[in-house]
Amino acid sequence: MTYENILAETRGKVGLVTLNRPKALNALSLAMMREIGKALDAFEQDDAIGAVVMTGSDRAFAAGADIRDLQEKEFMHLFLADFPHGPTEGWHSLNTMRKPVIAAVAGLALGGGCEMAMACDMIIAAENARFGQPEIKLGTMPGAGGTQRLTRTIGKAKAMDLCLTGRMMDVQEAERSGLVSRIVPVAELLDEALKVADTIANMSRPVVYLVKEAVNVSFSSTLQEGLRFESRAFHSTFATEDRREGMAAFVEKREPQFKHR
Ligand code: CAA
């Protein structure tokens, strides 16, 4: 399928979504968000795909929601559409999909761009990456996780600092704060992200789903509830063929052949 604002392609078992509005620094227009949703839905439904990478350009992952799209919007429109979480937008697909999504971030990840990277399951960043929630400078505020995911990830002090001043943080600060899992040179970003995604795509898919769900449950549960969920999920891996294969392969000193069953 071809799109106007993104590129969607496959690299082996990995789906790759490239945001492609270079003139607007990949600002997330409504049209682009709908295309992202369609591309993610297609990868989610494709049995040959085990993980997804989302990336932008060397200059910008995404410089936020498209301010020109939002400029004339009124409360009632946004409220009735449940923007940005409504069912037709890319955010909905990103928030609900089971396959892991890796954000490969070079350059700017601002506003909705930072929020989109955080809605992914992991952020791998290039040395030139910069993150920020500058919405307050526009007289508005983060609306897609900037006050929530950011706070849970980097803590109150830094989340308040970023959301209240609109300042950007560089990649070292982002990594120190726990927002970014790895920093790589710009030229190696995509290869590294694809390699990580391929590693995940070769694991047992049901177990990948359980791990992603269990990590995410930690954000919405008490420790007791989370530990209970985790142990139940762990028990359920013993109902899979892949767990049997994984342990047999270890004992027999060979690579496991997971069948996603
Ligand atoms: N929306 C629409 N267009 C944008 C954009 C955005 N978020 N960010 C950049 N652009 C456009 C610029 O308007 C410009 O287009 P023209 O050449 O047609 O004028 C082009 O991208 C290049 O941008 P600049 O010339 O401004 O480039 P720069 O290097 O001087 O500055 C920047 C880069 C600091 C990112 C600056 O563009 C900027 O401040 N952008 C806005 C960032 C922002 O406020 N993002 C938050 C948006 S609101 C949001 O995301 C809401 C939410 O949580 C759901």
pLDDT digit string (tens) for 69-78? 999 999 999 9
Residues annotated catalytic, as ranges: 65, 112, 115, 135
User: Alpha carbon of 230 to those of 52, 133, 214, 238: distances in Å?
Assistant: 24, 33, 6, 13
pLDDT of residue 93: 94
Which ligand 1 atom minimizes the distance to the CA of 110?
45
Residue 157 has pLDDT above 90, yes or no: yes
For ligand 1, residues with CB inside 6 Å are 24-25, 27, 63-68, 84, 108, 110-112, 115, 134-135, 138, 142-144, 146
Q: Which residues contact 32 (CB under 8 A, 6 or more apart)?
A: 5, 6, 19, 21, 26, 66, 90
Percent of the chain residues topping a pLDDT of 70: 100
- Compute the distance from residue 29 Cα to the ligand 1 centre, in Å: 12
pLDDT of residue 88: 78
From the CB of residue 224, how many other CB atoms can be counted at a distance below 10 Å? 8
- What the block records as the tokens of 180 is 């970014």
Which helix (H) or strand (E) segment holds residue 126: the answer is strand 122-126
Contact 1, 38 (CB under 8 A): yes
pLDDT of residue 121: 98
Strand partners, 184: 126
Measure the CA–CA gap between 48 and 172, rounded to whole angstroms.
Answer: 35
pLDDT of residue 80: 92
pLDDT of residue 167: 98
From the CB of residue 72, how many other CB atoms can be counted at a distance below 10 Å? 7
Which of 67, 148, 168, when mutated, tests ligand 1's pocket best, judged by the most ligand atoms within 8 Å of its CB? 67
Cis peptide before 84 (omega within 30 of 0): yes
Model pLDDT for residues 32-67, shown as the tens digit of each residue: 999 999 999 999 999 999 999 999 999 999 999 999
Residue 7 has pLDDT above 90, yes or no: yes
pLDDT of residue 89: 81
Model pLDDT for residues 84-134, shown as the tens digit of each residue: 998 878 899 999 999 999 999 999 999 999 999 999 999 999 999 999 999
Q: What is the mean pLDDT of the chain?
A: 97
Residue 205 has pLDDT above 90, yes or no: yes
pTM, entire model: 0.96
Which ligand 1 atom minimizes the distance to the CA of 67?
1
Residue 208's pLDDT band (cuts 50, 70, 90):
very high
164-189 mean pLDDT: 98
Measure the CA–CA gap between 127 and 114, rounded to whole angstroms.
Answer: 16
